[in-house]
Each structure stands twice: as C-alpha cells, then as structure tokens.
Structure 1
Amino acid sequence: MPKISNKGQQMPESPIRKLVPYSEIAKKKGTKVYHLNIGQPDIKTPEVAMNSIKNIDIKVLEYSHSAGFESYRRKLAEYYQKHGLPINIEDIIITTGGSEALLFAMGSTMDSDDEIIIPEPFYANYNGFSTASGVKVVPVISTIDEGFALPPIADFEKLITPNTKAILICNPGNPTGYLYSKEEIYQLAELVKKYDLFLIADEVYREFIYDGDHHFSVMNVPGIEQNAIMIDSVSKRYSMCGARIGCIVSKNKEVMAAAMKFAQARLSPPTFAQIASEAALETPQSYFDEVITEYKDRRDTLITELNQIDGVKVATPKGAFYCIAKLPVKNADDFAQWLLESFDFNGETVMVAPAAGFYSSPNVGLDEVRIAYVLKKEDLIKSVRILKEALKVYHQ
C-alpha cells in the first residue's frame, strides 16, 4: 500500500475542530452543545455586504485579477489610510482568507528548514501553515501569570540562529486576547532591524479592542518598511468567516512580487466573496460601536463567572474574543472529550478547545483551554455553570 508523506503525518490536528465528531454524537443523543471552541461570531453580517450579493446581476462568474479586484484593493487602501495606516493599493494582495495570506507570507520569505520565532500560545494553525511550508517553529513562551505579555526581548534574541527568517505575532492575540503595546511593537521592530528579519503581524482582530486601549500596527513603525508584513481578514471584522477573504500587505516590493506568483498559481480569490467584502467597507461605524460594546460585555461576564470557579485561573483579554483558562485538571484534552462523550447538565454540555494545541512546545498548556466568547451573555453564563458542575463530577 502506498504511504502518505512525512509532511502529511506531521500535519497537526486542529485543537479547535478535532472534537467535532464527539460534538455531533452528543447532539444526535439530544444533548445541547454550547460551542465555546471556535471563533465563529453570532453577530449578524452587515446588511450592506449581504445585499451586495443578493441583488447582483452577473451573466458570467469570471476569474478576478490574481491580486483581487482593483476596486476592492483601492477601497481597502482607503479604509486603512482612514485608520492611520500608510497603505496603498500596490501594497495589497487579496487572498482566500487570512490563512492563505500567511501561507503566501511564509512561502515568500522562507525556505525549507528555515525558522520562525512565535510567542506561544499562538493560533493553532500557525503550526499547520509552518508544516505545510517546511518551516520550523521556534517558540518563545508567554505565561498566564504575566497575562501573556510579550516575553523579554532577550528570550527572543537567544533563539535567533542563521536559519531564523522571521518573527510572527498575532495582535491582538488568538488564543490569549493579549494586545501588544506600542512599546512592545517597537521592541520587536528594533530586533528585526538588528538581525535583518521579517516581522509578520496577524492583525485580523484589530477592531476588537477594549478598555480604551488602541491597536498599534507594525505598518505604523517607521524604518521597518522592508521588514513588516501584515495579515488581515474580513472574517471577524464583519462576521464573515465563510467569505474566506483576507489579504497580505507589505511595502517590500520583492515580498509582494513573490507573493504575487503564489497568488497567480492559485488563480484568483473567490468572486462573490470579494463583492461582499468590498461592499462591507461601507458598513457604518455604528455597527462596530455596537459590536465592541457587546463583546466587552461578554468578556466581562465570562471572566467574572470563570473567576467564581475554585481552581480556575484566567487572564483578562484586552482584545479579540478569546481567553485562555487554566483548569484544575491534568489533561484538558481528556476533559474536553469527556464533556462531550460522557457528561451533560440538564441535557446540556459545552465544547472547548484544549490549549495544548496552541503551543508547539511539548507538554505545555496541558491544563488549559481556549474559550471563545462568541455567544450571547445568557449562554455564556449557562456555559460556565455547566463547566463548574462538570469539574465537580470529573474530579469524582
């Protein structure tokens, strides 16, 4: 029998989706499952985006330009400029989700066995993208005790080798919700300049900032125009996860020329989704104001409820809509599966994402889970109550 590739064997499972079969079985048994495992917002997609594809009159569903519609890229550049980012149309390539943008970034800047330093815990698919690209992830650990703040620059510096090509951050972070400060971004900027590295910033949650804080982009740092690469997406901003539209942004013309070759190889991003994404740029500010207020209320509710459970430790997120919770269990993978297979509270249970999959270091985060607060407050309160009861039974 032919064998699959080593790369296929090494490709990690998604900690976010690997428990789906157990969830499906639980639902078939009649158990209601509250999904805290996945960042799928329940906020309605802006009507202006939905109407753009409802009312469209197209005779032929054509390819777009490999870089995406020119009209969309132009309006997107204007959107960024309005928010203080010095980005022009030639700095943007539209991609099939932020995922493809990350693959383009890695493919354009790194060869097999090159290294990328990433503060962990990090978005689980960074492991998958790196494996697919033949790139080695070198983790630098941030901790719940420090609120998942940027590790000391000295910790980064001692990991740099001749094979190091880039540092990758997610700001604000998935799965931690940590928001890097302007000072922390400048520290990283100095480091990548010193060692001539790329600084790749996944900024797809830039609009989700709380407590009066402000997002500071790598695109705003003078002097690293040739180092900085920004990743963005419509998925979270407009609650359009299924559109699969993102972009790679950089002032480095060589990077963008290389990324363009990858873009040409996959032909073009999806047409309907680009139409909806372009229309979404007309979304009024009131939409975002309401969304931020709602998510802040959800965050505050979730953190308050979690802090009432004995043995649970949680860092308060400053952005995005996730938090990492440290549970009084030895193996969160086992606990998360048990929640779906063997437990219900009044016919209901919860689905969480075991956090070990958000690390590349072995045996780290084994007692942690990621929780996405993408449900309404009443459901979050119910979910934490279920979690509290589950922990009692699980320990018995």
Structure 2
Amino acid sequence: MPKFSSRGLNMPESPIRKLAPYAVKVKEKGLHVYHLNIGQPDIKSPQTAIDVLKNIDLDIFAYTPSEGNFDYKETLKEYYHSLGFEDLTRDNFIITNGGSEALSFTLSCLCDNEDEIIVPEPFYANYYSFAESIGVTIVPIVSTIDTGFSLPDIEKFEELITSKTRAILITNPSNPTGYLYSKEELQKLADIAVKHDIFLISDEVYREYVYDGLPFHSVLEFPELKENVIVIDSESKRYSLCGIRCGFLVSRNKKFLEIALKFAQARLSPSLIGQIIANAAHKQPISYIENVKKEYSERRDLLVKLLNEIPGVVCPKPKGSFYCTVELPVENAEDFCLWMLKDFEYENGTVMLTPAQGFYSNQEHGKRQVRLAYVINKDDITQSIKIIKKGLEKYNTLQ
C-alpha cells in the first residue's frame, strides 16, 4: 500500500464525533438518543435569515471576494461598533468558512513547523487538530475541575514562553468548561503578550452567552494590543447557524491581515450563501439574542442542579457559553460513554456524551470527565440526566 503522511496518521479523531456511528445504530433500533455531545443548538435561527434564504434571487452563484462580501463586512463593522470598537473598519475583517478556518488561517500566518502556542486546557479539541495539521506544538497550561477551571496564576503563562512561542490562544467564554475571563486576567495576558511581543488570539464566538449579569471583556478593549491581538469569531452559535459555515477574523494588525488574505485567496472564497444568510441574521432585533441567552441560562441552571444531585458527580457552574465539563464516578469516562450507546437504554432512550479526554493534551487529566452541551430543551435535559443517573448506577454494578 502507498505510504501516508505522519501528519495524517497522527491527526486525532474528534472526541465530539467519533462515537457518532454508535448513535446511528441506536437510532436504527428505534431508540431515542439525547444529544448532549455536540454544540448544535436546537433554537430556531433568526427569521430574517430564514426569509432571505427562501427568497434568494440569483441567476449565477458566483465566487465572492476572497476577503468576503462588501455588504456583509459592512454589517460586521456596524456590529463591532455596537460593541464599542468604533475604530474598526470593514478592512479589519476577513470572512472565513466558519471559525475553524479562521483559526487555521491564523496559525498558518503566525507559526512555522515546531513553533509553539500556549493554550489553557481543557481546550476546544479541534485546536489540537489545527495545530497538528501544520506542525505546531500546543503547550498546555492546566486548569482543574476542583477550582471550577479557574486559571492558575497568570505568571504561569510567562514561565512557558520560549524562543519558539508565537501566541497565547484562549477561548472566552470557554468551550468546553464555560469559564469566563475577568478583565484583570486579560490585562495580565495583554502585558505578557506586549512584553514578549507575541500574539494573543481570542476565540470569542460565545461572547453573547454570559450569565448571572457578569460582564464580557474582549481582548480588543486593550489599546496596547493593537499589533498583538487577533479575534476569532463566528455566526454558528450566536445565531444558531452552524451549517452555513460563516466565520471571520478581526485584527488591527495590517501585516497579519495582508498575510491572512493570501491564505483566503488560496482557498478562493468564502461561501456566498453563508454570507447572505449571516448578513440577514444581523438584521434580527436584539431581542433574539436576549431571549436565547435567557433560555440557555435556564437550561444551565437545570442541568447543573440535576447533575450535582447524582452521587459522585461534580459539575462546576459555567459562567458562559453553553458547555460544562463534568466529572463522573467512573474510572474511564470514554468507556462509560461507549457503554451508554452500545449496552444501555432507559425508558426507550439513551444519552450521547463527549469524553473529555480529547480536550486535554495529556488525556489522563480528563479520563473521568465528560463535556456536556446544554443545547436541548429543558424537558429533554431532565430526561437525559435521569438516564445518566440510571446508567451510572447500572454501569458501576458491572465494574
């Protein structure tokens, strides 16, 4: 057989999707699968987005400019002005096919083979895949469930910086933990980035979904970071538009944007239809976001309450996004997740969970943990946790 690349062979499976074939088999048996494994919201997309899709009147579905459509970038400019960043122009944005492509472009712009980025863990599992695909090394800084995944002293970041460090990458609020960075923490990260002249990359796709009246702070707020900051953003979770694959880069660093545009040109163009839909979504009244935020907050409260009532389960209360990382009273969470799909049902259903090991560079750290996404309705959440409780009881009698 012809040979394959080491890069391809070393590419990790997605912890979010690798159990999907087992869920398909469960459904083929006529059972209901409650999906707590993936951040696919069940909330209806904005009506303005639905209406524009139904009424697209084009004779040719043409390429768009590599950097994105003029009108959509103008809409993003106005959106960021509403957030307080009135110095930004449409030239500060490059449209990408999802936030994933935005991050892939960013790492490709900043890093050569064996360069390093520092990332707090647990982190979004695909960060590891993006890094592996271009030969970048992720240097983790560990947070733990017993402190609610609060960060260690910010000075710990500085201890990890070497001559190969190109950036610090954070997700704010976090996927998979729901952790929210304070302004004081971001200021310390900004100081480190400026001192060592590295980039601070902030994945802010969940910025709208912060709870309990807590403020969200963007890295764009820090003027000293003008040349050192890159924001990854996406419409997927903001407007329940995951399938249109529409994201974007935001930066004030003109050289970075110039280089990123070359990668954008190499892949030709972002999705025409995705941009049309995303542009229309921004025309939806702000009440859409407010209502969705309220719904997610209620789901979070219910999920955390019910989980923490199960003996041996530890579930810190997330401050943002729509994820939580949970420790279970099992020795191997991945084995439990697989068993739930292959061998367990309760009241004609089972639950699909995501093993948390894939969100750590050292997978021993998350061996007893799962990530849950509270993107299903409250009745289904209640039933899901009931099934998890029954499943844990049964599973632990078999060990």
The bucket for the TM-score relative to the shorter chain is: over 0.9
1:232: Cα distance to partner? 0.2
Deviations, residues 286-311 of structure 1 (Å, cap 9, x unaligned) = 11111111000000000010010000
Distance across 2 between alignment mates of 1:108 and 1:148: 30
Q: State the partner residue of 2:250.
A: 249
Please identify, of 289-298 and 83-92, the stretch whose mean Cα deviation from structure 2 is larger. 83-92
Measure, in 2, the Cα distance between the counterparts of 1:150 and 1:335: 28
Q: 1:283 — aligned with what?
A: 284
Tell me which residue corresponds to 2:81: 81
* TM-superposed deviation, 1:155: 1.6
Per the alignment, in what secondary structure is the counterpart of residue 314 of structure 1? coil
Q: What amino acid does structure 2 have at the position aligned with 1:9? A: L
- 2:138 aligned partner: 137
- Any unmatched runs of 5+ in structure 1? none
**TM-score of the two chains, using structure 2 as the length reference:** 0.98
Give the distance between the partners of 1:185 and 1:260, measured in 2 at CA. Answer: 28
- Residue 183 of structure 2 is matched in structure 1 by 182
Match of 1:374 in 2: 375
Deviates more, 1:222-231 or 1:86-95: 86-95
1:258 matched residue in structure 2: 259
Question: What SS does the corresponding residue of 2:310 show, helix, strand or coil?
Answer: coil
Alignment of 1:70-109 (within 5 A): 70-86=70-86, 87-109=88-110
The amino acid across from 2:84 in the alignment is G
Residue 154 (structure 1) shift:
2.4
User: Which residue in the other structure is 1:202 paired with?
Assistant: 203
Quote how far apart the aligned CAs of 1:362 are.
Answer: 3.6
Flag structure 2 segments of 5+ consecutive residues without an equivalent: none
Equivalent residue for 1:152? 153
Equivalence for 1:58: 58
Q: Distance in 1 between matches of 2:229 and 2:284?
A: 28
> What is the Cα deviation at residue 133 of structure 1?
1.6
Equivalent-residue separation in structure 2 for 1:377 and 1:265 (angstroms): 44
Partner residue in 1 for 2:319: 318
Moved more, 360-369 or 377-386: 360-369
Please state how far the C-alpha of 1:146 moved relative to its aligned partner: 1.5
Q: Report the alpha carbon displacement of residue 218 of structure 1 after superposing the two structures with TM.
A: 0.6
What does residue 21 of structure 2 align with?
Answer: 21
Distance apart, 1:151 and its partner CA: 2.1
Which secondary structure state, in structure 2, belongs to the residue aligned with residue 330 of structure 1? coil
Q: Distance in 1 between matches of 2:85 and 2:203?
A: 15
- Are the aligned partners of 1:119 and 1:151 in contact in 2 as well (CA < 8 Å)? no
1:34 paired to 2:26:
no
Task: Return 153-162 or 199-208, whichever deviates more.
Answer: 153-162
Query: Residue deviations 1:300-326, cap 9 Å, x none?
Result: 000010010000001100110000000
Deviations 1:146-200 (A, max 9, x none): 2112221222111111101100000000000011111111110001111111000
2-structure distance, mates of 1:121, 1:59: 47
Answer yes or no: is the 8 Å Cα contact 1:204–1:234 preserved in 2. Answer: yes
SS of the aligned residue for 1:167 comes to strand
CA distance in 2, matches of 1:203, 1:293: 19
SS in 2 for 1:369: strand
Distance 1:32 1:57 in 2: 39
Aligned counterparts of 1:335 and 1:31: Cα–Cα separation in 2 = 18
The match for 1:395 is 396
| SS of corresponding position for 2:209 | coil
CA RMSD of superposed structures (Å) = 0.8
Residue of structure 1 equivalent to 2:232:
231
Q: Is 81-90 or 358-367 further displaced after alignment?
A: 81-90
Match of 2:162?
A: 161
Could you tell me which residue of structure 2 aligns to residue 45 of structure 1? 45
- State yes or no: 1:308 paired with 2:309: yes
CA shift, 1:80, in A, is 0.6
User: TM-score, normalising length from structure 1?
Assistant: 0.99
Question: Aligned equivalents of 1:249 and 1:369: distance in 2?
Answer: 32
% identical equivalent positions: 53
| SS of equivalent to 1:150 | coil
Per the TM alignment, residue 50 of structure 1 is displaced from its structure 2 partner at its CA by: 1.1
Paired AA for residue 245 in structure 1: C
Q: What is the alpha-carbon distance in structure 1 between the residues aligned to residue 7 and residue 34 of structure 2?
A: 34
Encode CA deviations 1:242-281: one digit per residue, 9 max, x unaligned. Answer: 0100001110111101100000000000101100011111
When the two structures are aligned, how many residues end up with a matched partner?
396
**Dislocated runs of 4+, deviation >2 Å:** none
Q: SS state of the match for residue 95, structure 2?
A: strand
